[in-house]
C-alpha cells in the first residue's frame, strides 16, 4: 500500500484502502495559507472501518508480545528518522512553535518506546483455589485480554503525541483502533497512521477518519462493536459522549484551569517566575495543564509578579516556523477573539490587567492579570490561551481552598520546601496529580495522567491506559495433573 503523492493531499486511511471523497480545506493558524485538503469521512466509511476493526480483533489479540513490541519499536524508530517531517506538519496545521513541535515528536517517541516495553510486560497471575475443603486440585489463572475495537478521538493541540497516547497502548494491548483526529490537524494523524501500518500493524486494525462531530457521536452511540471510547478534548463534548455511549467503556481526558501555589520559603523566585511564564504562555497557553491561576504568599507576591511580567515581555512571539517563537497564534481567529473578550470582561469586572492582552489577528500578547475573583471566566473556565491570573494569599490553607475552588481538577503545582505543607496539599487538593517543585504543566508520558471533577474519567499514561483497554479473564483448572 502506498500513500498518494504529496504529504498534504486529501486521503483517508480506512482498513486496507486510501479513500478519496469530498475534501476539507486545512489552513494555517498563522497566516491562513492552505496546508492541504483532506477527505471528509462519511458514515459509510465509519461503518466500514468498524467492520474491519471487528474482523481484525482475532488477529491483533493473537499477535505475540514480541511482535507487538517489535512493531511499536519500529514506529518509534520511524518517528526518530522522520522527526523534522512530523515537526513541520505540526507547525503547519497546529501553529505550534517549531521548537515545541520537535519536543512533541520526542515525546511521541518515548510514548511508543514505553508501549513496546509494556507490551512485553503485559501479563497476569496464578491463584490458589484449594482454600476450602472439597476444592483440592483447583487453581486459577488470570490473564488480561484486549477489550475490543476502540474509538479514539484526539484534539488539535498535540496532534501527534495525544494520538500516540491512544494508539500505542491500544497496540500494546492488542486492540484495533479507529482514530478520529481534530479537523484542524488531520495530516499529522494520517502520517502517523501510515508509519504504523508500514511498521507491520495489521492494515485492517487501524483507521484514521476525519469524521464530523455528528457522525462521531453516532459511532460512539450506535455502534455496539466499539467497546471503548477514548476522548481527549473539552469537558462539554466529553461528558456528552459519555452520556450517549451506552454500555461502552469511556475514558475521558478533559480540560482544566491549572493552579500553582508559590510559598514564601521557595528559594528561587526568579526560576519560579521563569517556569511560570513558559508554562502559562508557551504555545499560546493551548494546553489543558497550562498554568492559568497562581496563588503567591503575600510577602513575595510583588517580587514574583513583576518577575513574571519582565520574563513574559521577552518571549518570542509570532510566526511558529521561527526558531525564536514561543508564543504563536491561537488555533482559530474565533478563539483569539473569545480570549480577548474574556480578558475585557474580567477588567470590566474589576480585575487589573498588569501586562499584555493585546490581540493582533490570532496572536495575543501574554496577558497577566490580578485582582480577579471567582465568577470571572478568566478564572473559572478553561481559557486555553496565553493568560494567567496571579493573586496573593496570607494563609496556606486559604491557598489550598482557592485551588480547589474550581470545577476542574487535573494537575496542580506547589513550590515549597516544607514537607508538612507538601503532604497536606497532597491530601487536600482535588487533582489527578500534584507537581511539587515545578508548575502543573510538567508531565512525563509514562505517568498516570487524568483528573477528577470535570477534568475527566480514568487515566492515560501507557500502562494505565492498557488497564482501561484490557479486561481480566479467569481460567479455573480442576484436577489437572492429579493422579
Residue listed under C-alpha cell 474550581: 406
**Active-site residue, 14 included:** no
288 is catalytic: yes
Cell of 106: 520526542
Give the H or E element holding residue 278: helix 269-281
The CA distance from 35 to 10, in Å, is 11
* 476 DSSP β-pair partners: 140
CA-atom Rg of the chain in angstroms: 24
Contact of 68 with 119, CB cutoff 8 Å = yes
**Count helices and strands in the chain by DSSP H and E runs:** 15, 24
Out of 118, 223, 253, 382, pick the active-site residue. Answer: 253
- Report residue 20 as a C-alpha cell: 478519496
Q: Which residue out of 104, 288, 391, 468 is catalytically annotated?
A: 288
Q: What is the 3-state secondary structure (H, E, C) of 282-298?
A: HHHHCCCCCCCEEEEEH
CA–CA distance, 70 with 68 (Å, rounded to integer): 5
Cα 110 from Cα 80, distance rounded (Å):
10
| Nearest to 315, CA basis, from 362, 257, 355 | 355
Cα-Cα-Cα-Cα torsion 243, 205, 112, 13, nearest 10 degrees, comes to: -90
- How far, in Å, CA of 216 to CA of 388, rounded? 34
CB 281 within 8 A of CB 326: yes
Tell me the CA distances in angstroms from 69 to 29, 190, 198, 282, 463, one per residue in order.
Answer: 37, 22, 15, 34, 14
CA distance 364 to 347: 16
**All residues at 6 or more sequence positions from 167 whose CB lies less than 8 Å from its CB, including other chains:** 152, 177, 179, 192, 196, 206
**Grid cell for residue 225:** 462493536
Find the Cα–Cα–Cα–Cα dihedral 454, 441, 305, 328, rounded to 10°: -100
Catalytic residues, which ones?
253, 288
Amino acid at each position: 500500500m502506498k500513500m498518494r503523492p504529496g504529504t498534504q493531499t486529501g486521503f483517508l486511511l480506512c482498513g486496507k484502502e486510501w479513500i478519496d471523497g469530498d475534501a476539507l480545506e486545512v489552513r494555517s493558524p498563522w497566516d491562513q495559507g492552505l496546508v492541504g485538503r483532506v477527505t471528509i469521512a462519511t458514515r459509510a466509511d465509519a461503518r466500514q472501518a468498524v467492520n474491519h476493526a471487528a474482523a481484525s480483533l482475532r488477529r491483533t489479540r493473537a499477535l505475540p508480545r514480541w511482535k507487538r513490541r517489535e512493531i511499536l519499536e519500529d514506529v518509534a524508530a520511524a518517528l526518530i528518522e522522520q522527526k523534522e517531517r512530523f515537526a513541520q506538519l505540526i507547525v503547519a496545521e497546529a501553529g505550534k512553535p517549531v521548537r515545541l513541535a520537535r519536543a512533541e515528536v520526542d515525546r511521541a517517541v518515548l510514548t511508543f518506546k514505553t508501549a513496546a516495553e509494556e507490551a512485553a510486560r503485559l501479563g497476569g497471575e496464578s491463584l490458589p483455589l484449594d482454600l476450602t475443603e472439597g476444592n483440592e486440585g483447583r487453581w486459577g489463572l488470570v490473564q488480561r485480554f484486549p477489550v475490543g475495537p476502540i474509538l479514539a478521538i484526539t484534539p488539535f493541540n498535540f496532534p501527534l503525541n495525544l494520538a500516540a497516547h491512544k494508539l500505542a497502548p491500544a497496540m500494546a494491548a492488542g486492540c484495533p483502533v479507529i482514530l478520529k483526529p481534530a479537523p484542524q490537524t488531520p495530516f499529522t494523524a494520517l502520517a502517523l497512521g501510515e508509519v504504523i501500518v508500514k511498521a507491520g500493524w495489521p492494515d485492517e486494525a487501524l483507521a484514521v477518519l476525519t469524521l464530523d462531530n455528528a457522525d462521531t457521536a453516532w459511532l460512539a452511540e450506535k455502534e455496539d462493536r466499539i467497546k471503548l471510547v477514548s476522548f481527549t478534548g473539552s469537558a462539554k463534548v466529553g461528558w456528552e459522549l459519555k452520556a450517549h455511549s451506552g454500555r461502552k467503556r469511556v475514558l475521558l481526558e478533559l480540560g482544566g484551569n491549572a493552579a500553582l501555589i508559590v510559598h514564601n520559603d521557595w528559594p528561587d523566585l526568579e526560576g519560579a517566575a521563569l517556569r511560570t511564564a513558559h508554562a502559562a504562555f508557551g504555545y499560546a497557553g493551548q494546553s489543558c495543564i497550562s498554568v492559568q491561576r497562581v496563588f503567591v504568599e503575600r510577602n513575595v507576591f510583588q517580587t514574583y509578579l513583576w518577575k513574571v511580567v519582565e520574563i513574559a515581555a521577552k518571549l518570542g512571539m509570532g510566526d511558529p516556523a521561527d526558531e525564536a517563537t514561543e508564543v504563536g497564534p491561537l488555533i482559530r481567529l474565533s478563539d483569539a477573539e473569545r480570549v480577548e473578550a474574556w480578558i475585557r470582561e474580567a477588567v470590566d469586572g474589576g480585575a487589573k490587567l498588569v501586562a499584555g492582552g493585546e490581540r493582533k489577528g490570532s496572536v495575543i500578547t501574554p496577558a497577566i492579570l490580578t485582582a480577579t475573583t471567582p465568577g470571572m471566566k478568566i478564572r473559572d473556565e478553561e481559557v486555553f490561551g496565553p493568560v494567567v491570573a496571579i493573586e496573593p494569599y496570607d494563609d496556606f490553607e486559604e491557598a489550598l481552598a482557592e485551588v480547589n475552588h474550581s470545577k476542574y481538577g487535573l494537575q496542580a503545582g506547589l513550590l515549597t520546601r516544607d514537607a508538612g505543607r507538601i503532604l497536606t496539599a497532597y491530601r487536600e487538593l482535588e487533582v489527578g496529580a500534584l507537581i511539587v517543585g515545578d508548575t502543573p504543566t510538567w508531565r512525563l508520558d509514562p505517568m498516570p495522567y487524568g483528573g477528577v471533577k470535570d477534568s475527566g474519567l480514568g487515566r492515560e499514561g501507557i500502562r494505565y491506559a492498557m488497564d482501561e483497554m484490557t479486561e481480566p479473564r479467569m481460567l479455573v483448572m480442576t484436577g489437572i495433573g492429579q493422579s
